[in-house]
Structure 1
Amino acid sequence: MTAYLKKVTADGTATVSFYDLGAKSGSSAAKSKVMRQFYKRGEFATSARGHTAEVAASTYKIFIAAYTFHMIHENAFTFDATSQASFEQMIVNSMNDFADDHLEAWGMTNVDAYLQKQGWYNPVFVANQDAETTALSLTSALRDLHDGTGPFQNKAERKWLLSLMGKQVYRTGIPAGVKEAKAGTTVTDKVGFIDDTNNDAGIVTLPNGEQYILVVMTHGHGQSGFSGFPRIAKIAEHVQKIVYGSKLTRDLN
């Protein structure tokens, strides 16, 4: 895995982070003693250029969601019908209205200070610059989301956000790639795209219940619009086959 990720990031136009979460509670993988032994959480975690700051594009909206929930629990924000619909559009359709309006209202430095407290890359938001983050920071945020820790401790908020990410409409990156690797694999993710940047950050669940986080950030290669997402899909397909390939798991059992 490490050799593969070094290869696909060697030209400096991609960063990748992988973190294996172990098996979903109650799944067939969780009930398999052999799978539990060989697929312990974090056993294969690795990254390539994972600490390198890249243009976040709309993956930064994971951080906006985190700060929104923080503000709710500080009694400093309450959803109404309009803001709730705008938040949902931010995740599902990657619309900018909620993030733009609330970054202005809350202040970039305040949001950055909160993200820094979570141990995430900082600053994400700088005036008159594209938002930046790292693949490892997105991985850390998704770990908190999966685990219900940090900003995502409220079960209802966590369930809602995961549901929205599962319905986001841009699915030619990680979702397409992992389905090529194994039919029935599902993904809750947030994409980002701006200029030549195409990013995807998601939580992946295999049919047997194994779960992992994958973040792929790309630019260059003449990308525009969504043309880089097939590149992300190919990386995702290979990552899943390397770690969870059917021959490997069959041999273990």
Structure 2
Amino acid sequence: MKKVTADGTATVSFYDLGAKSGSTAAKSKVLNKFYKRGEFAASSRGHTAEIAASTYKLYIAAYTFHMIHENAFTFNDTSKSSFEQMIVDSLNDFADDHLETWGMSNVDAYLKKQGWYSPVFLESRPAQTTALSLTSALKDLHDGSGPYQNKSERKWLLSLMGKQIYRKGIPTGAKEAKAGTTVTDKVGFYDDENNDAGIVTLPNGEQYILVVMTHGHEQTGLSGFPRIAKIAKHVQQIVYSDSLTKGLK
């Protein structure tokens, strides 16, 4: 991680979630011994604020669920479709409309209350956040804690993230590291910023969170996502390679 972030154009955060309940890994005494949740966690430049691009939509989703629980918002067919497009296609309509309605300062205050980076939203600059803050939000999503305590809402959001269409970053790298690996993630791209934040599940049930935020390197459009894929592949191979896990006793 220090190597790939050394030039200051990337931030990376990794957190091992342990084994998925009922999985092959969960039934392995050896893997449970060495891969306890949180046993492996690392970041480089993880506290450095970067332009969030559309990864901030994870925060919009969290605040939306909060507003539902406060009886201050109810989905209709139009808003539900717009929310889905925000996650799957990374369209901006839902986020823009509701940030204006709810107010940036109110959303930021809620994010701060969750212990996440704040302020994400200011009129004077693009939305920004940190890799560690996105990691924390994904932990809550995985665990069903914080704003994600409603099981149906949590399941819905995870399913949308699993169907999001920009899959050349972490999903590609994770599958290259191990065939059959699945990823539920949210990407972001803005000018030369290419970001990806996801929950990764290996075929044996081991799970981890990875957030990679990149800029520079003459990136344009989506051209930085192969760089993210390379980082994801290397991280997964380092921590979960078959040669490593087979040697554990």
TM-score, scaled relative to structure 2: 0.99
- Residues 194-226 of structure 1 deviation map (CA, whole Å, 9 limit, x = unaligned): 100000000000000000000000000000000
What percent of counterpart residues are identical?
81
The DSSP-based 3-state class of the residue aligned with 2:26 is helix
Provide the C-alpha distance between the structure 1 equivalents of 2:34 and 2:125, rounded to a whole number of angstroms.
44
Residues 67-78 of structure 1 aligned to structure 2 (within 5 Å): 67-78=63-74
**Aligned residue in 2 for 1:224:** 220
Provide the C-alpha distance between the structure 2 equivalents of 1:193 and 1:40, rounded to a whole number of angstroms.
33
The DSSP-based 3-state class of the residue aligned with 1:252 is coil
The CA RMSD measured in Å over matched residues stands at 0.5
Provide the C-alpha distance between the structure 1 equivalents of 2:227 and 2:190, rounded to a whole number of angstroms.
16
Q: Quick one: which amino acid aligns to residue 120 of structure 2?
A: V
Match for residue 189 of structure 2 among 188, 193, 201: 193
Give how far 1:128 is off: 3.5
**Aligned residue in 2 for 1:158:** 154
TM-score, scaled relative to structure 1: 0.98
**Aligned residue in 2 for 1:126:** 122
Corresponding position: 1:214 with 2:210: yes
User: Structure 1: which 5+ runs fail to align?
Assistant: none
Q: Quick one: which amino acid aligns to residue 29 of structure 1?
A: A
User: Structure 2: which 5+ runs fail to align?
Assistant: none
Provide the C-alpha distance between the structure 2 equivalents of 1:40 and 1:78, rounded to a whole number of angstroms.
39
Corresponding position: 1:239 with 2:247: no
**Aligned residue in 2 for 1:49:** 45
- Residues 158-209 of structure 1 deviation map (CA, whole Å, 9 limit, x = unaligned): 0000000000000000000010000000000000001000000000000000
The DSSP-based 3-state class of the residue aligned with 2:161 is helix
Match for residue 105 of structure 1 among 89, 96, 101: 101
Provide the C-alpha distance between the structure 1 equivalents of 2:124 and 2:70, rounded to a whole number of angstroms.
28
Q: Quick one: which amino acid aligns to residue 166 of structure 1?
A: G
Provide the C-alpha distance between the structure 2 equivalents of 1:186 and 1:211, rounded to a whole number of angstroms.
10
Match for residue 60 of structure 1 among 43, 56, 60: 56
The DSSP-based 3-state class of the residue aligned with 2:210 is strand
**Aligned residue in 1 for 2:14:** 18
Corresponding position: 1:93 with 2:89: yes
Corresponding residue pairs, total: 249
Provide the C-alpha distance between the structure 1 equivalents of 2:243 and 2:124, rounded to a whole number of angstroms.
50
